[in-house]
Amino acid sequence: MTSDFTLPQSTELSPLGLMHIKRFWGKVMLRRANLLDEELWKKEWQLDKTLLSVLGLGLEQTLTYVFQYAPAFEEFEHWILLTSGTPTGEQIRKFNRLFDEIQTPSQPIPPALSDEEMAFWTENGYLILRNVISKEDCQATIDVICDFLDIKLDDADTWYGLHHSRQGIMVQLFQHPLLQKNRQSEKIRMAYEQLWQRTDIWVTTDRVGFNPPESDKWKFPGPDLHWDCSLDLPIPFNLQGLLYLADTAPNQGAFTLVPGFHNRISDWLHSLPDGANPRTENLHALGSLPIAAQAGDFIIWHQALPHGSRPNTSSKPRFVQYINYQPADLSHQKHWL
């Protein structure tokens, strides 16, 4: 589909000195009017997400703003500065180098994971990185979430109130110095670099999670076991991760996955009857495992593992922060299955 509006080139600089931002704004405005070619949207999807990572913006947060207000570009850039501040000069230079014809080679990767951890990863497709964030910073982050949601840890009656930023157990909170500090953990980044086998990866600006105990009036809304990727084979390598902000027992709405399923997902998919929807199968029957861990522990997993949360039957809420690193040239399957 076409329009009279011509999309800027990715290399056009914004007043911030950042490339691609004008093009991204133009694409979202066209998509808002149903005037953007879907293939172009898909083709530049990962680059767009990398741009938002540099700007410290959440994906849904940004799309919601543009779709709701249809801002002029100057208004959009002003909103960015008010929402997440100005990216550092180094981040801007690093992102702009993505458009150089000659790319900067990836740097040597210092080992962050032991041989035992790598063997466990190969077999199970997940790892628990211990004590990547201090207990003090975890508690301070919980306090930020509680203040944002207007809840009190010592008053369970406040845990279930309505809030415009609550989406089930997900909380649309993206910007805070502590959240950003946690994202920049050297231990987390180095683990991602070793698993990706490259250093040119970008930390995403993701949200947080709050899963209170079930009550007579509130039941766990999900998500149960699922995949966030297409099941069109072969499933490309990609990672996901979350930080436990509080000690979390198996019955405390713990993060749950199916260990090792990245090694057998192809055989399993081929074994299903014709016409079966793999997403509606009993995924717990594949061997789901709730992951108990302590405040400051980080769980990282292969995207081919079925994963999700579970009902919180304890007396304490679960607090997490989602953190991920991805390369700007990450490829996705063409077809959603």
**Residues 119 and 65 both lie in one domain:** no
Per residue in 145-203, pLDDT (tens digit) is 999 999 999 999 999 999 999 999 999 999 999 999 999 999 999 999 999 999 999 99
**Residues 40 and 185 both lie in one domain:** no
Has residue 265 been placed in a domain? yes
**Residues 142 and 188 both lie in one domain:** yes
Has residue 221 been placed in a domain? yes
Dist CA 233 CA 226 (whole Å): 16
**Residues 122 and 82 both lie in one domain:** no
Model's pTM, two decimal places? 0.94
For the chain, how many structural domains are there in total? 2
DSSP string, 86-155: PPPHHHHHHHHGGGSSSPPPPPP----S-HHHHHHHHHHSEEEETTSS-HHHHHHHHHHHHHHHT-BTTB
**Residues 134 and 79 both lie in one domain:** no
**Residues 181 and 260 both lie in one domain:** yes
Q: Which of 99, 128, 147 is the last residue of a domain?
A: 99
| Structure confidence at residue 335 (pLDDT) | 85
Has residue 14 been placed in a domain? no
Has residue 15 been placed in a domain? no
Q: Which of 40, 73, 99 is the last residue of a domain?
A: 99
| pLDDT tier, 334 (very low <50, low <70, confident <90, very high otherwise) | confident
Has residue 5 been placed in a domain? no
**Residues 301 and 178 both lie in one domain:** yes
**Residues 134 and 209 both lie in one domain:** yes
**Residues 150 and 225 both lie in one domain:** yes
**Residues 80 and 126 both lie in one domain:** no
| Structure confidence at residue 331 (pLDDT) | 86
Q: Token pair 């009857």 is at which residue? A: 273
CATH of the domain at 320: 2.60.120.620
**Residues 247 and 207 both lie in one domain:** yes
Has residue 106 been placed in a domain? no
The 3-class secondary structure across 13-77, one letter per residue, is: CCCCCCCCHHHHHHHHHHHHCCCCCHHHHHHCHHHHHHHHHHHCCCHHHHHHHHHHHCCCHHHHH
Per residue in 32-84, pLDDT (tens digit) is 999 999 999 999 999 999 999 999 999 999 999 999 999 999 999 999 999 99
Has residue 273 been placed in a domain? yes
| Structure confidence at residue 1 (pLDDT) | 39
Task: Name the token pair of 317.
Answer: 């809420």
Dist CA 223 CA 235 (whole Å): 21
Q: Residue 306 pLDDT > 90, yes or no?
A: yes
Q: Which of 44, 75, 99 is the last residue of a domain?
A: 99
**Residues 258 and 292 both lie in one domain:** yes
Q: Residue 272 pLDDT > 60, yes or no?
A: yes
Has residue 208 been placed in a domain? yes
Structural domain including 70 reads: 21-99
Q: Residue 2 pLDDT > 50, yes or no?
A: no
